[in-house]
């Protein structure tokens, strides 16, 4: 990680702030850590921010509100959202509002460091990678059956298996089987990976869908 600037960590959980600070500093990167959105903006210097690792839910504001304020920076630093499973719909909205990526809790150190390095890649490389991922994602999603595609679209808006089963008129076990095949066919290693792949392929998680 050779880019100049600090990694800003914003999370109200002191144990997560501490562990992320130690992890990132151990990789040779300076860190500024904050417990709230207000504390972050009080100490935020766009010229000194290489990347922001941001909890999607904070005591005073959510990731969407922070992203909107960050747009005033020119250019805004890249933002990685960290989220619990139940916050997936909010994390997806954050990505649509400008976040570079999101990572589900619990996460491991290698994942965080790899994602930080990825968003610090030069813009041209990021754009080329985005185009390549879009083509790859579309090809993988094309292998899904119509029912698997329905399950995928409900997974990426954060619906749990029981809700998906009710809306599709099938059993939760059947949903689990479809979900496993979706993950296998797409090569997604996690729900966040699947969401990123779906969005790259042009699936809009906020688009209205007919309930069958």
Per-residue pLDDT, 209: 55
Using CA atoms, how far apart are residues 37 and 203, in angstroms rounded to an integer? 30
Tally of domains within the chain = 2
For residue 138, give Cα distances in angstroms to 94, 100, 130, 134, 144.
Answer: 22, 20, 12, 6, 10
User: What's the CATH code of the domain at 147?
Assistant: 1.10.10.10
* Residue at a domain's end among 92, 121, 150: 121
For residue 141, give Cα distances in angstroms to 71, 118, 151, 179.
Answer: 32, 24, 12, 13
In a domain, 212, yes or no: no
**Entry pTM:** 0.74
Per-residue pLDDT, 136: 82
In a domain, 108, yes or no: yes
In a domain, 86, yes or no: yes
* Residue at a domain's end among 72, 94, 121: 121
Per-residue pLDDT, 12: 93
Per-residue pLDDT of the chain in tens (212 residues, 90 and over written 9): 445 689 999 999 999 999 999 999 999 999 999 999 999 999 888 889 999 999 988 989 888 889 888 887 777 889 999 887 667 777 778 877 888 888 888 888 998 999 898 888 755 444 444 546 677 888 889 999 999 999 999 988 878 889 999 999 999 999 999 999 999 999 887 777 788 788 888 887 666 555 44
Q: Are 140 and 134 in contact (CB under 8 A)?
A: no
Of residues 124, 149, 146, the one with CA closest to residue 137:
149
User: What's the CATH code of the domain at 94?
Assistant: 3.40.50.2300
């Amino acid at each position: 990680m050779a880019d100049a600037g600090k990694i800003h960590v914003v999370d109200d959980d002191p144990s997560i702030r501490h562990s992320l600070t130690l992890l990132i500093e151990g990789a040779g990167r300076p860190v500024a850590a904050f417990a709230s959105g207000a504390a972050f903006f009080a100490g935020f210097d766009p010229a000194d921010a290489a990347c922001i690792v941001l909890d999607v839910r904070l005591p005073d504001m959510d990731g969407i509100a922070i992203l909107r304020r960050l747009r005033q920076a020119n250019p805004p630093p890249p933002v990685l959202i960290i989220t619990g499973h139940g916050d997936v719909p909010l994390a997806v909205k954050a990505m649509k509002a400008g976040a570079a990526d999101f990572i589900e809790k619990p996460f491991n150190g290698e994942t965080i460091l790899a994602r930080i390095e990825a968003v610090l890649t030069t813009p041209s490389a990021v754009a080329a990678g985005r185009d390549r991922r879009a083509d790859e994602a579309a090809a993988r999603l094309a292998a899904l059956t119509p029912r698997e595609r329905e399950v995928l679209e409900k997974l990426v808006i954060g619906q749990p298996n029981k809700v998906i089963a009710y809306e599709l008129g099938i059993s939760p076990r059947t949903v689990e089987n479809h979900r496993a095949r979706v993950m296998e066919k797409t090569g997604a290693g996690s729900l966040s990976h699947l969401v990123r792949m779906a969005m790259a392929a042009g699936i809009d998680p906020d688009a209205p869908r007919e309930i069958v």
